[in-house]
Structure 1
Amino acid sequence: MTSTHQPMGRSSLGSEMPWAELPRDVSTLLAGSLSELVEEIVLRIPQEVPEYSRPLEGEFGASVRRGVEIALGRLFIDLPGRDEPALMPATRAIYRQIGVGEARTGRSLEALLSAYRLGARVTFRAVSAIADRVGLEPRLMLPLGESIFVYIDEISAASIEGFTEEQSRQVGERDRRRESLLRRMLAGNLSEVEARRLAARAGWPIPARVVAAVLSPEHAEGLRAALGDDALISSRTGEVVVVFAAPATDAQREQIAQMLRGRHAWVGPARGWETTEESYRTAALAAGTPSLSDPEGDVRWVDDHLTMIALRSDPLVMRDLAARSLEPMRHLRPEQRERLAETLLVWLKHRGERGRIARELHVHPQTVGYRLGQLRDVFADDLDDPDRRFELELVLRAGHRPDPAAQD
């Protein structure tokens, strides 16, 4: 065939609409082969794209066939010789919906794009054979081939748009379901049946044991991306709570520490999922105690700091206990108060072993004896009372020191 039709639209190589360079009678030449080409593409997809390696039957098969028929009809019947975009709104919606459907089935986007690329290759080879058979002018093979690949790019873009938007919607819905599950776990009123149902909907298999981490909102930027699918996250008033499967090895513990590094997070003790709120409460208690904060922002584990958390978790009670226990030292000079408080704490820690006390304080044992004499003068028989010694050690280990006497 030697076409005498003048091509419409732009004629430069690399046009965004290369089909405009084709004569209209190309449609007539190709129309009779389209049904055969549809069958070949539908047959080849499950053979060459692993994720579609099943017969294209039922609703899914009908959808694939319809997509191929629409693509070939648009490309070879509607577009040749016309200066118009590859996809009209209704056609774009079809391929966008294909992307949505693939996201909902859980198949990868790459599988869909591989099927499109396969269709383009099969179509180009078939059309080349048809063109040779009917005597299509060689000069038209370039815009014809370019038309195929530009069109595939357009339907790929539409499907990518649908796929990614559906994925975003699913992620948003999943995150809402996960947050709802975590809130129910923290409330502590969740039956096992309900927990399993909510966890299945949220895509988060409930582990036998969990740990809860607490951090402030200002340290939570980018947290979801950093944690991926491993954790539940919930934003509460003034804090963010994260729940993980409890680490069973040092490597798993380090993995959690890496994910939360620099976020000033406290991680509570391991608990059964039914008592997640216990792990949360202890982590929240530690996170809410300013004197326990770490300026470096490294992860801190409640299990490693139980004594200090217990001592500092209720500052008001400990302050009152310190005021009462250390009251006999209030009238000492500031330097003497500090020196004797330090000596008293070391004496209590080492149960009066003068040599160990001297080594820790870096003083001579005779100096220790002198200071203990001063402490006896201040506290008298209280130092022989086990309950008073226990109170004194508590408040001194918690970091309290004697308040100076009020000045008149």
Structure 2
Amino acid sequence: MKPLVSGAAPWTDLPVDIGHRLRPALPSVAVEIIDTIAREVPSYSRPLEGTFGAGVRRGVEVALNRFLDLPGSTQPALQPRDRDVYLALGRGELRQGRTLEVLLAAYRVGARVAFRRFAGLARESGMDPDAVVALAEAIFAYIDELSAASVEGFATEQSHRAGERDRLRGRLLELLISGVADDTAIEEAAAEAGWPIPESVVPIVVPREQSHGLALRLGPAALVARSGEFVVALVATPTSEQARRSLHRQLRGRRCMISLPTPCRDLAASLRVGTLAIRLLDSTPSDGSPGSGPVQVADRLVDLVLRRDPALVAALAERELAPLAGLSAGARQRLTETLLAWLAYRGERNRVAAALHVHPQTIAYRLTKLRQLFGEALVDPDRRFALELALRAATPEPTPRDNSSG
């Protein structure tokens, strides 16, 4: 809501003396407003005692007194000291655990009661009917201004709390990552951050550009904070397949790595693995749609080991796959995928054919060619192992799956 522009306020056209005519009734109008709010707004139905009661009464009294100062003037609805009252009421709603709608409902009730009483008194004093209509417009425009101030106060408090919570959770994550903080310090920091420490967690490493709305999506049970160039979320380790699937649904659409389960005291090692994984591994999920979901580090450990030192892997691939170097690109690809499938399925020709969707006779032909190229390397266990490592490192696609019933 935007504040009204000075000079365009509807109370400018009200008779200047209307405030003097209505002010004697102000105490009884205030009582009626408070009673009606307590009756019609359930959250305000409790006895108006203590700070809560004082806040409600002050809000009503300041609102009525200030409004009766406005007729015939071009003043803004609220002076700074008056506005502070409604900013504070907005902040107080959040601190009391209520939604802002409760306060705005109370404002609407107050406006309705004030107009009914003030309009009746104005008519009794002989006010022109057109002026009564202007009075209605002025009251409801004025309530909009009060509401806008409280909305701002509520939002400011939300922002302050979010910032403070982020600071506390960031500090807690730093303590957990450090590996040197004692249990007492961690427990105190966790209590301040409002995060019960699970027995086991999985760190989720997310690039900052993918982290928007992550904390909201994962809920208050997750500890979400920045760590260097990434955002890290700690969630309790899923203990069932259903829980694991639920976590994947929550992360759908984000490029991220779910690292290895770990006690919080050993977080640093698992977080290091997750960070390394997101730097080294292609995070395209198994369904082939980039960015449509997380990657489970536990499912990619072999890839991670292979890519840990690209120079060594490149040297291994160059040495072991040298017999394929002189072939055309198409022939090299066909023989590469055939050799990898043959190694994966331990030489079972029919399974290799099913996985590659070709005739077994075609596989037989390719294997003859591979034996000519690689010779004794295909029967030596150590060379076969080195070949499979080199092929897996050099092949971006996963090993073809045999979908046959056998």
CA distance in 1, matches of 2:277, 2:373: 34
After TM superposition, give the deviation of residue 141 of structure 1 in Å: 2.5
After TM superposition, give the deviation of residue 354 of structure 1 in Å: 5.3
CA distance in 1, matches of 2:391, 2:184: 49
Contact 1:20 1:83 in 2 (8 A): no
Q: Deviations over 1:331-363 (max 9, x none)?
A: 974369877766654443333445555666745
After superposition, the Cα gap between the structure-2 partners of 1:400 and 1:43, relative to the gap in structure 1 and judged at 3 Å, is: closer
The match for 1:305 is 300
CA distance in 2, matches of 1:308, 1:169: 43
Q: Deviations over 1:72-130 (max 9, x none)?
A: 12223x23343423222222222222222333333221111111112122222333444
CA distance in 1, matches of 2:21, 2:325: 109
Between structure 1 and structure 2, the one with the greater Rg is: 1
Q: Tell me if 1:32 matches 2:40.
A: no
RMSD of equivalent CA atoms: 3.7
CA distance in 1, matches of 2:13, 2:224: 53
CA distance in 2, matches of 1:122, 1:332: 89
Contact 1:311 1:318 in 2 (8 A): yes
The match for 2:389 is 394
After TM superposition, give the deviation of residue 30 of structure 1 in Å: 2.6
Q: Deviations over 1:18-63 (max 9, x none)?
A: 2642241x33433332222222333333332222232111223222
The match for 2:268 is 277
The match for 1:113 is 104
Contact 2:206 2:255 in 1 (8 A): yes
The match for 1:44 is 36
The match for 1:53 is 45
CA distance in 2, matches of 1:92, 1:358: 78
| 2:394 match: secondary structure | coil
TM-score (norm 2): 0.77
Gaps of at least 5 residues in structure 2 are 1-5, 397-406
CA distance in 1, matches of 2:367, 2:59: 94
TM-score (norm 1): 0.77
After TM superposition, give the deviation of residue 153 of structure 1 in Å: 1.7
After TM superposition, give the deviation of residue 222 of structure 1 in Å: 5.8
Q: Deviations over 1:293-326 (max 9, x none)?
A: 56712322223333333333333343444456x2
Q: Tell me if 1:383 matches 2:379.
A: yes
Identical pairs, percent: 41
CA distance in 1, matches of 2:14, 2:353: 98
| Correspondence list, 1:97-136, <5 A | 97-131=88-122, 134-136=124-126
| 1:107 match: secondary structure | coil
The match for 2:309 is 314
CA distance in 2, matches of 1:322, 1:204: 47
Q: Deviations over 1:359-390 (max 9, x none)?
A: 667453764774575367444xx834x44443
CA distance in 1, matches of 2:179, 2:387: 38
The match for 1:289 is 280
After superposition, the Cα gap between the structure-2 partners of 1:173 and 1:125, relative to the gap in structure 1 and judged at 3 Å, is: same
Residue type at the aligned position of 1:374: Q
CA distance in 2, matches of 1:394, 1:334: 21
Residue type at the aligned position of 2:379: L
Contact 1:183 1:234 in 2 (8 A): no
Contact 1:213 1:265 in 2 (8 A): yes
Residue type at the aligned position of 2:292: D
After TM superposition, give the deviation of residue 182 of structure 1 in Å: 2.5
Deviates more, 1:95-104 or 1:154-163: 95-104
CA distance in 2, matches of 1:79, 1:369: 95
> What is the number of equivalent residue pairs in this alignment?
381
Residue type at the aligned position of 2:290: E
After superposition, the Cα gap between the structure-2 partners of 1:283 and 1:362, relative to the gap in structure 1 and judged at 3 Å, is: farther
The match for 2:205 is 214
Residue type at the aligned position of 2:26: L
After TM superposition, give the deviation of residue 281 of structure 1 in Å: 2.9
